[in-house]
Structure 1
Amino acid sequence: MTKIKVNGALLAYNEVGSGSPVLLLHAGIADRRMWREQVDALVTRHRVITLDLRGYGESELPATAFAHHDDVAGLLDALNLDSAALIGCSFGGAVAIDTALAHPDRVSALALLGAAVSGHDWSEQTNDLWETLVGDLDPEDFAATAAGEVRFWVVGPEREPADVDPQLIAFATAMDERALAAELALSAVDVAELDPPAIGRLGELRMPVLTGAGAADVPDIRKLADRIAAEAPRATRLPDIPDAAHLLPLERPTPVNTALLDFLPH
């Protein structure tokens, strides 16, 4: 692990390999460890960088205003990279899209796995599913909140916890407890959003885009993958990956890695 100063914050990252650069951006319920199944596959062809976004994992959170998408561009500056392919899952996918819109010359390609999109309003169906599966939680009870979020996102609404590898559930829960502490701290900092948000600007994504989701993920996420594919001019929709929910790179690494290697520029 290395730390580097980016826009006034020390950000933690790992870097291995050589070749065309690829930067992986983690889900909001995780940190850079979620990419452990992708690094060895991608390093055969790429310079692979896994980042803890500001406040998450081992990255710092100074009490100053910032934007995640500007941090991504700042990391590329700090590493003397003109551009990189961005791979993002969930919230990391939203950050990747925002970076591609705010700094289009810095992003050579986008691979979006279960990606959120800034400005998207969750549907009533998704809100109802949350109430049914999780209900009200005390945001300061990290253990209970992590258990609820893992039930909703990692297991998914169409499966039962017994259907999912218990080691995956344990790892995801540990990452999420740490991420919840990060989100509580981030709530006290001025985090700038992309303005206007990405949801109405997907047609501006001119680089190659791969978008996909787990077949067991919440319906809104699968619909967002459809929308990205329909509106981004150079987008390809990966078929939903069977028996995978929101952390599909961890849960089903083989089809994810195959798709990424087929898509990413050499």
Structure 2
Amino acid sequence: MTKKLDINGTTLAYDESGSGSPVLLLHAGIADRRMWHGVLPALADRHRVIALDLRGYGDSALPPDPFAHHDDVVAALDALGIAQAALVGCSFGGAVAVDTALAYPDRVSALALFGAAVSGHEWSEETEELWERLVGEVDPEDLAASAAGEVRFWVVGPHRRPEDVDPALVTFAEELDRRALAAEQALSAVDVAELDPPAIDRLGELRLPVLVTAGAADVPDIVRLADRIAAEVPGAVRLPDVPDAAHLLPLERPEPVATALRDFLG
């Protein structure tokens, strides 16, 4: 059953399970909290696990007022009575997790990053060329076509063919992404504050346990970002890339993700 938090002038949706040390799961920009459905129950025997829909995504509302996602994360922790939590992020959710740890270092006990983006990172020409080769031009008003293109790029990935990937995963990912694209269209009309300065040149400021990995079939920029996070964050743990998995790693391969988290979080 979906739960709701009233914070910062909006309503955020979340799922919660288990008890113990708190863990907050932050979804990719092409998805919502449902991408964690295979990971959440695997952690709930020893952790209080919350999967949150960021503002505008999934079942969370989007009022027109200016906001910052990292402020919402901390307000959600406040509303849940959590002084400090481990943040687990995939893709855009990873960027929000890192921003939160930099903006509110006393509120974050650990970071686990799966195919994470980082605020301030600029995509390489290689990524743009891969998009042109794999997807090409898509009408942004056609959410179904846009979702199909993004899933081909991110969820199938540049190193696999669509027929190599579970059709049920592709179908569910396209449904998640259609909803996320509608959220992004709405978010484009709202003033969303970014971390200033952004995280990409501040990774060395992180002073907490950090776990980082990616799917071996993800786009090269994401794998390189994982390498950069591991190189620049003192003491970060870089796990090997997960075979036969792309950008929605926790959705596609929940078992190794859950195992890594259980080992890392203790």
TM-score bracket relative to the smaller structure: over 0.9
Which residue of structure 2 lines up, in the alignment, with residue 249 of structure 1?
250
Which residue of structure 2 lines up, in the alignment, with residue 175 of structure 1?
176
**Structure 2 letter corresponding to 1:31:** D
Return the alpha-carbon distance in structure 1 between the equivalents of residues 137 and 7 of structure 2.
37
User: How many corresponding residue pairs?
Assistant: 265
**Structure 2 letter corresponding to 1:208:** P
Mapping 1:213-228, distance limit 5 Å: 213-228=214-229
CA drift at 1:236: 0.3
CA RMSD of aligned residues (A): 0.6
CA drift at 1:234: 2.3
The DSSP-based 3-state class of the residue aligned with 1:50 is strand
The DSSP-based 3-state class of the residue aligned with 1:109 is strand
Mapping 1:8-23, distance limit 5 Å: 8-23=9-24
Q: Alpha-carbon deviations, 1:77-99, whole Å to 9, x = none? A: 11111110000000000000000
Runs of 4+ aligned structure 1 residues displaced above 4 Å come to none
TM-score calculated relative to the size of structure 1:
0.99
**Structure 2 letter corresponding to 1:147:** A
CA drift at 1:250: 1.2
Return the alpha-carbon distance in structure 1 between the equivalents of residues 96 and 143 of structure 2.
24
Which residue of structure 1 lines up, in the alignment, with residue 27 of structure 2?
26
Mapping 1:6-85, distance limit 5 Å: 6-85=7-86
Return the alpha-carbon distance in structure 2 between the equivalents of residues 254 and 147 of structure 1.
26
Which residue of structure 1 lines up, in the alignment, with residue 155 of structure 2?
154
Identity of aligned residues (%): 75
Q: Is the deviation greater in 252-261 or in 63-72? A: 252-261
**Structure 1 letter corresponding to 2:172:** F
Which residue of structure 1 lines up, in the alignment, with residue 138 of structure 2?
137
Return the alpha-carbon distance in structure 2 between the equivalents of residues 45 and 84 of structure 1.
14
Structure 1 residues without counterparts, runs of 5 or longer: none
The DSSP-based 3-state class of the residue aligned with 1:135 is coil
CA drift at 1:35: 0.2
Structure 2 residues without counterparts, runs of 5 or longer: none
Return the alpha-carbon distance in structure 1 between the equivalents of residues 208 and 145 of structure 2.
40
Return the alpha-carbon distance in structure 2 between the equivalents of residues 44 and 228 of structure 1.
30
Return the alpha-carbon distance in structure 2 between the equivalents of residues 44 and 238 of structure 1.
24
Which residue of structure 1 lines up, in the alignment, with residue 126 of structure 2?
125
Return the alpha-carbon distance in structure 1 between the equivalents of residues 251 and 128 of structure 2.
25
